[in-house]
Amino acid sequence: MINLPISTDHIRTTLAAYLDEHPEEKPDLAPALGLLDAGADLVSRSEFRGHATAGAILAGPDGRILHIHHLVTGKWLLPGGHLESSDTTLLDAALRELAEETGIPADTVTPSSDSPLHIDIHPIPANDAKGEPEHRHIDFRFLFRTESEVGPLQTEEVADAAWREIDSISGNRLRQRIAQALR
């Protein structure tokens, strides 16, 4: 079987299935739907109207959630990042980013579902060093579980990692979904 990179159709199908499960979020995700309808390539990092990213919500055995301290933003965030040509699904991309950033081997992590637990659209400030204008990330966030500990960090992007309580998650909807999924 030939593995193909993530396509715009995969993004559209994943988004549509998510909205079938969470129709109340359609107004929040309308910008992504609009870009898809306009023919935008949300797989391309150079699509500055908005492009897809993949994030991992990793729950440890005690229910705490792994956060990374991101060097560029200086903030504690969930692991995740841009899609790469080797990724075949958004879930694969989230798992790859998790393993790269935290050193936790992919084979010690179990996805809770093939579908994202949450999709978020958020602004990214301009980065003159990379020649990137302000743009939006459409972040497909997947829930994983593990018994493993953090390994070597990706020190180009990540300064530290820590297991934190669910109440440290900033978004109410995301926090509620995580708590519900971990019950």
For residue 109, is pLDDT > 90? yes
Does 49 map to a domain? yes
Does 2 map to a domain? no
Residue 144: how many other CB atoms lie within 10 Å: 23
Nearest Cα neighbor of 109 from 147, 142, 83, 79 is: 147
Q: How many domains, the chain?
A: 1
Q: What is the pLDDT of residue 2?
A: 60
Q: At what angle do helices 8-21 and 90-102 cross, to 10 degrees?
A: 100
For residue 4, is pLDDT > 80? no
For residue 1, is pLDDT > 60? no
36 with 15: CB under 8 angstroms? yes
Residue 118 buriedness (CB in 10 A; 0-12 / 13-18 / 19+): buried
| Confidence (pTM) | 0.94
Does 164 map to a domain? yes
Structural domain containing residue 139: 8-182
For residue 82, is pLDDT > 60? yes
Residue 117 buriedness (CB in 10 A; 0-12 / 13-18 / 19+): buried
pLDDT tens digits for range 127-181: 898 899 999 999 999 999 999 888 887 778 888 999 999 999 988 999 999 999 9
Nearest Cα neighbor of 175 from 143, 138, 140 is: 143
Q: What distance in Å separates the CA atoms of residue 111 and residue 29, rounded to the nearest whole number?
A: 23
Does 59 map to a domain? yes
Q: Which of 54-58, 101-105, 146-150 has the highest mean pLDDT?
A: 54-58
Strand, coil or helix: 157? coil
What's the CATH code of the domain at 22?
Answer: 3.90.79.10
Does 1 map to a domain? no
For residue 12, is pLDDT > 60? yes
